[in-house]
Structure 1
Amino acid sequence: MLPPRRFLPSFSLLSAFEAAARTGSVTAAASELGLTQSAVSRQIAALEKQIGVVLFLRERQTIRLTIAGDSYAREVREALRRISNASLNLRANPSGGTLNLAILPFFGSRWLIPRMPRLLDQHPGMVVNLITRLEPFDFRFDTLDAALHFGAARWPGAVLTPLMDEDVIPACSPDFSARHDLRTAQDLLKAPLLHLNTRPDAWENWFRSQETGFEALHGMLFDQFVTMLEAASAGLGIALLPRFLIARELDEGRLVAAVAAAPLPTGRYFLACPPERASYPPLAAFRAWMLAEIADERLAPADGIGQ
């Protein structure tokens, strides 16, 4: 239920306030909005009267947000941004059917995007907007409908649909492998190791799985899989990489398994969404399509997904 109208200022009042708060100047706000300074001043005064709170301190020819005004400006700016995004989405797809999806960059570029033509063939008119997010976020304060998530099934307030499991292998370039004479897990301790900062204990877990003792594990640090993959391909070291996401490099010979060892299970991918969006038609269609794609790959002779 919407609050009473007296608590819903008009768009013009909010726009004038937001522009003045952001620029710190009535003159700049007036120029941005195509209004006169006096018109912007009147709109801000009308807003203050309507909500009963002083938003600016007037000091000679300058204005400065009050503490309450600063907090209100943040909320109003976010609300106006969401309205703007909704309008852009509607303009891009007047018939509706827009899905705003947060993706993990490596998974998105390697697994999702190459398969999306099949999704759009099955659902003509659907628009999927992809936004990179590396960490969970609060759906209440965002415009995203859903997110692809990896790791533990922990996302407060979200509905989680299990998708697929992941396993990793230590991979490096063929030349690197030959130069370092890699044969056993113990040999890897003498070679440069590449680390992902979102998985700081990945190598420790792998060496434990191989029952190989270790001390401090040093090496280059990366914030995304894609740059770590390129570093491994260039011969800078050994990287622990998801097996099903580096199939191309393995097939082309740009990467090889550093040693013969069973892939290490590392976690599961999920599709996360807020409860109120779970039945949203574009999201429901995307979820069903993705689960079907995963099932088809599991049944394929050359299974690309680690179990």
Structure 2
Amino acid sequence: MRRLPPLSAIEAFVQVARLGSVKAAAGELSLSSPALSRRVQTLERFLDRQLFERRHHAMVLTADGESLLAKIAGPIDELSNAIEATTGAQDLMRLRLGVLPLFASQRLIGSLPELREEHPDLHIDIDTAAHGTSRLGDGLDAAITLAQSIDPALYARKIDHNIIAPIASKELLANGKPITDPRQLSDLTILLHRDMPETFRHWAKAIGLSDLQPGTEDHFDSGQLMLDAAAQGLGVAFMLDSHLQDAHDDRLTRLFDHDVESAYSYWFSCRPSALQTKPVRLFHDWLFANVCRQTAVKDGARPIPEAA
């Protein structure tokens, strides 16, 4: 039987080929970039073939590399599945999910019993710390984040299209001086989330009031606290219309009639290879079938990577 190259070198080659980046592949395999590069070089020396063209921030397969990937990617995945089945890893599926606290409380937790009933073997570890996308492959399998855009190296799908909503206490409107004109915000405090700092500027520009300056700006790192502050009459919270709808708080109302699409949206994201794993794929499909609004599935998604 002919001697084979190290399995670790083959695994490194497949990950780099699929992700197109040493850094991304290193994250998937919990290695440093230099260590992963050495594994790829080991395979190239063994085969006496150059498998990649090294470009700035990218690794592009050569013809030899493409030929090798086509032949071994399937068997490697079958081997991985066989190992999982043998060790019993498939008996219990676990998803490590990063999600913002407000999305989790308003839209996710209440629907999880349905997910548990549909997939009783799927268990979810929920992490509400910030910077979810930066920790994908390093503690997180998938993340639901609020952002303007997602790193193009990741698989990403937009969850909602949202309108910016100036949210205020109904009592603020009943104090004898109703707020009917956006220019009145020059005498009021506005509340902004640190993850959505440009929301007010974007809204003011869209309605033709680029020079509008609020009385003051208060910043929060918690969406729920923003809603509570607005309900207490502490200011006008510039958030998303979904935040108001899902709050189900009779103390709150939306000001003005301007429909301005937000530059910020909720996104589901993961590493492309992660979407090929059963826990991530099951949760992804369930999320967009049961939790997300129907307008979200029309666009805003990158092509789903096909399983090798």
- Flag the 1:154–1:247 CA change in 2: closer, same or farther, 3 A: closer
Cα pair 2:136 2:143 within 8 Å, conserved: no
Whole-angstrom distance in 2 between the partners of 1:213 and 1:176 = 25
Q: Secondary structure at the match of 1:278?
A: helix
Of the candidates 198, 201, 215, which is equivalent to residue 201 of structure 1? 198
Deviation at 1:216, TM superposition (A): 4.4
Question: Is 2:127 the partner of 1:131?
Answer: yes
What amino acid is the match of 1:160? A
Cα pair 1:196 1:221 within 8 Å, conserved: yes
Whole-angstrom distance in 2 between the partners of 1:224 and 1:252 = 17
- Flag the 1:233–1:267 CA change in 2: closer, same or farther, 3 A: same
Correspondence for 1:265:
262
What pairs with 1:217-232 in structure 2 (closer than 5 Å)?
Answer: 217=214, 218-232=216-230
Tell me the TM-score normalised to structure 1 length: 0.62
Whole-angstrom distance in 2 between the partners of 1:152 and 1:222 = 18
Whole-angstrom distance in 1 between the partners of 2:278 and 2:90 = 15
Question: Is 2:114 the partner of 1:105?
Answer: no
Q: Secondary structure at the match of 2:121?
A: coil
Deviation at 1:113, TM superposition (A): 1.3
- Flag the 1:244–1:104 CA change in 2: closer, same or farther, 3 A: same
Question: Is 2:208 the partner of 1:211?
Answer: yes
- Flag the 1:126–1:138 CA change in 2: closer, same or farther, 3 A: closer
Correspondence for 1:23:
none
What amino acid is the match of 1:284? R
Q: Secondary structure at the match of 1:194?
A: strand
Q: Secondary structure at the match of 2:139?
A: coil
Q: Secondary structure at the match of 1:113?
A: helix
Correspondence for 1:95:
91
Cα deviation per residue 1:136-158 (whole Å; 9 max; x = unaligned)?
31434x12111112323332532
Query: For the pair shown, which has the larger CA radius of gyration, 1 or 2?
Result: 1
Cα deviation per residue 1:41-64 (whole Å; 9 max; x = unaligned)?
xxxxxxxxxxxxxxxxxxxxxxxx
What pairs with 1:164-183 in structure 2 (closer than 5 Å)?
Answer: 164-179=160-175, 180-183=177-180
Question: Could you list the runs of 4 or more consecutive aligned residues of structure 1 that deviate by over 3 angstroms after TM superposition?
Answer: none
Q: Which runs of 5+ in 1 are unaligned?
A: 4-89
Cα pair 2:204 2:212 within 8 Å, conserved: no
What pairs with 1:148-163 in structure 2 (closer than 5 Å)?
Answer: 148-155=144-151, 157-163=153-159
Q: Percent identity?
A: 21
